[in-house]
Structure 1
Amino acid sequence: MSFSFFKARPKTPQEVARAIKDSLMALDTKTVVEVKSLEKALEEVEKNFSTMRFMLCGDGESEPNSEQVLQLTLEICKEDVIALLIHKLHIYGWQARKDLVHSWSILLRQKVDAKYCCVEYIENHLELLDFLVLCYDNKEIALSCGSMLRECIKFPTLAKYILESACFELFFKYVELTNFDVASDAFSTFKDLLTKHGKEVSEYLTSHYDEFFVMYEKLLTSGNYVTRRQSLKLLTDFLLEPPNSQVMKRYISEIRYLKVIMMLLKDSSKNIQISAFHIFKVFVANPNKSQEIKIILAKNHDKLLDLLHSLSVGKGSEDEQFEEEKDLIVKEIGRVTRLLNRES
C-alpha cells in the first residue's frame, strides 16, 4: 500500500479567477437542465467561492497574502467575473452567497495605481447596480444583494448613480414590503444613500426636490408605524446636514410639509411625537417664516401649546435641553400669534 505525502499545489490568483469564471459559465450550459448536473455545477461554484474567500480573507490562522489579493482582484475584473457574480446570484446556494458577500467588500477596497479596480469596473457597467436594486423583489437573495449594495454605496460615484437612476424610486416601495427582514434591509440601504455622501445627496435633492418630497410624504404618513418612525428619524438625519441647508430652507417654507409634521406631533407614539418636534422646531424658529406659515401657527396656537406642554423625553440633561428648546418654541408661537392678532 502506498501513500502520497504531496499536497496539491495551491492555485494561483489567475487560476482561481479562471476557475470561478468557468464554473459560473457552466451554469448556462444545456447540461444543467438535469437536476444532478445542476447540483454538481453549483458544488463547483461553492468550492471556487470558498477558495476565493480564503485567498482574500485568510482562515483566521493565516493572514491573506496582499499580493495575491491584489492579483486576484485584477484577474476578476479582467475576466469580467464581476458581472457573472452578480447576474447569477439567484442560482447560488446559501453558503456560496455567504462567501460572495464576505469577499465583496474586500474586492471593492483593492487599489491599483490609486484606483479601485472593481469600483471602476462597476462604473463602466452601471447596469449591475440596477440589477442589485431590483433583487429586493426576490426575498431569497434580497439580503445578500442589500449587503453588496451598501458596500457599493460607500463609493460616491456609485451612490450618485443609484440616486439619479430610475431604480431609486423603488426604495419607496421596498421599505414597505410585507417581509419585515427585507423591508428593514431596504431601509438600511435607503438610509445610506441619503446620508453617506453630503455633496451628492445635496445635488440630488436640489435637482429632484418636488418628486422626492412628494414620495417621502407618503412614507411619513404611512399606516405602518415602523415606516413612519424610521422615515421621520431619517428626515432629521439628512435634512439638518449642513450640505442640505438650502434644501432645508425650502422645505420649512412649505405649508404642505408643516401640516404633515404637525399631524405627526399628534401621533399616538411618543417616539414619533418627539422626532416630529425636532423638525417642527425648525419651521417655527425660521426667522424668515412666510405669512402663510405664521397664520397656521397662530390658528393652531392653543392645540399646539397643549401638545407641546404634554411632551417630554424625561432623561436627565437630555430632558433639560428638550425643555429649553420647547420653551423657546412655545414663546415663538405666542409671539407670532400676538403679532397677527394686533395686525388684524
Structure 2
Amino acid sequence: MKGLFKSKPRTPAELVRQTRDLLIYIDLNGNTRDAKREDKQYHGLWQMAELSKLIRELKSILYGNNEAEPVPEACAQLTQEFFRENTLRLLITCLPKLNLEARKDATQVVANLQRQQVHSRLIASDYLEANRDILDTLIMGYENMDLALHYGAMLRECIRHQCIARYVLESEYMRKFFDFIELPNFDIASDASATFKELLTRHKSTVAEFLSKNYDWFCADFNEKLLSSATTSSQKTSYQAFGRDVTRSIKFCGYDAIC
C-alpha cells in the first residue's frame, strides 16, 4: 500500500527548474537564513532547506552515488536545462546566502557542469562566453574570505575553456592575481596561486599570445611583487619553480625565461 502514495521522482530538468525558482525567491528576499520560523509571510528557512536538498540532488545526478554511476542522459538533460536560462548566474549570486554544505555542493555542481557535453558541445563554454561578467564575480571572490575557496574552485574549472582563459588573461583583473597570491590567509593565497598557474600553463597558445603583448609588465610584476617580496627561502623557491613551469609552457613564444 505504501507504494500507491509514493511521489513520482522528479526529472533532472524539473529539479533544475525548481532550483532556479528557489534561487530567484532567495535572491529577491535578501538574507533568508535570518528569517523567523513563525513569520507566515516569510518562509525563508523552508526555502533554504529545500534549496540545499535540490542542490544535493543535482550533485548526485552529476557525480553518481554509492548505489549508481552517473547516467549520461540524465546529466545531459540537467546540463541543458541549467544553461537554458540564468541558473548559473543565480547560483553564484546566491552563494553567500547558502550554508556551508550547500556552498560545497554548489561548487561541485558548477565544476562538473564545465565538463558536461550536450550533443558533443560544451555548452557551459558558450554560456560563459556570452556572460563574461560572471567571471569577474568569481575572480573578485578572492577578496571575500568566506567565499574565496568556493569561487576559486569554480574559476579554475571555468578556465578549462580556452575562450574563458583568454578573457581572464586579457581582463583588467589579471594583475590582481599578484595581490591575491600575497594575501595573508594561506589557504586563499595558495588557491589563488593554483588558479594563476592554471591560467598560465593550460592553454599554451593563448598564454603565448598574452605574453607577446604583456611580457614587460608581467615580468616586472612577477619579479617585484613575488620574487622580491618572498619572505622565506621556501616561498622564493616555490615562485621560481612556478616561473619555470610557465616558461616551459610558452617556450615556443620566443622567450627564454618568464623573468
TM-score (norm 2): 0.89
Further displaced range: 176-185 or 209-218: 209-218
Query: What are the equivalent positions in structure 2 for 1:294-305 lying under 5 Å apart?
Result: none
Paired position in structure 2 for 1:232: 240
The question of whether the paired residues in 2 share the 8 Å contact of 1:77 and 1:117 is answered with yes
Paired position in structure 2 for 1:208: 214
The question of whether the paired residues in 2 share the 8 Å contact of 1:108 and 1:116 is answered with yes
- Are residues 1:82 and 2:80 paired? no
What is the percentage of aligned positions where both structures have the same residue? 34
Which residue, out of 105, 116, 125, partners 1:110? 116
Q: 1:241, CA displacement in angstroms?
A: 3.5
- Are residues 1:38 and 2:33 paired? no
One-letter code of the match for 2:124? Answer: C
One-letter code of the match for 1:179? Answer: N
Deviations 1:36-91 (A, max 9, x none): 34333321220110111122122121122211110110001112101111122222
Cα distance in 1 for partners of 2:124, 2:47 equals 26
- Are residues 1:55 and 2:61 paired? yes
Count of residue pairs brought into register by the alignment: 249
Cα distance in 2 for partners of 1:133, 1:100 equals 17
Which residue, out of 153, 171, 186, partners 2:159? 153
Further displaced range: 66-75 or 38-47: 38-47
Which residue, out of 178, 194, 203, partners 1:197? 203
Paired position in structure 2 for 1:184: 190
The question of whether the paired residues in 2 share the 8 Å contact of 1:238 and 1:244 is answered with no
- Are residues 1:19 and 2:18 paired? yes
Q: 1:230 to 1:70 in 2, by over 3 A?
A: same
The question of whether the paired residues in 1 share the 8 Å contact of 2:79 and 2:116 is answered with yes
Deviations 1:304-326 (A, max 9, x none): xxxxxxxxxxxxxxxxxxxxxxx
SS at match of 2:66: coil
Rg larger in structure: 1
The question of whether the paired residues in 1 share the 8 Å contact of 2:27 and 2:94 is answered with no
Cα distance in 2 for partners of 1:114, 1:128 equals 24
One-letter code of the match for 1:24? Answer: L
The question of whether the paired residues in 2 share the 8 Å contact of 1:195 and 1:238 is answered with yes
Deviations 1:80-125 (A, max 9, x none): 1011111222221111111112222321112223321111101110
Q: 1:93 to 1:114 in 2, by over 3 A?
A: same
TM-score (norm 1): 0.68
Q: 1:242, CA displacement in angstroms?
A: 5.2
Cα distance in 2 for partners of 1:176, 1:30 equals 36
Cα distance in 2 for partners of 1:182, 1:17 equals 31
Which structure is higher in RCO with an 8 Å CA cutoff and minimum separation 6? 2
Paired position in structure 2 for 1:4: 2
Instruction: Point out where structure 1 has 5 or more consecutive residues left out of the alignment.
Output: 252-256, 258-344
Paired position in structure 2 for 1:254: none
Cα distance in 2 for partners of 1:170, 1:31 equals 30
Deviations 1:177-225 (A, max 9, x none): 0000100111010111111111011110110111111111121101432
One-letter code of the match for 2:11? Answer: T
Paired position in structure 1 for 2:228: 221
Cα distance in 1 for partners of 2:87, 2:183 equals 32
The question of whether the paired residues in 2 share the 8 Å contact of 1:49 and 1:96 is answered with yes
Q: 1:44 to 1:62 in 2, by over 3 A?
A: same
Paired position in structure 2 for 1:287: none
Cα distance in 1 for partners of 2:30, 2:126 equals 34
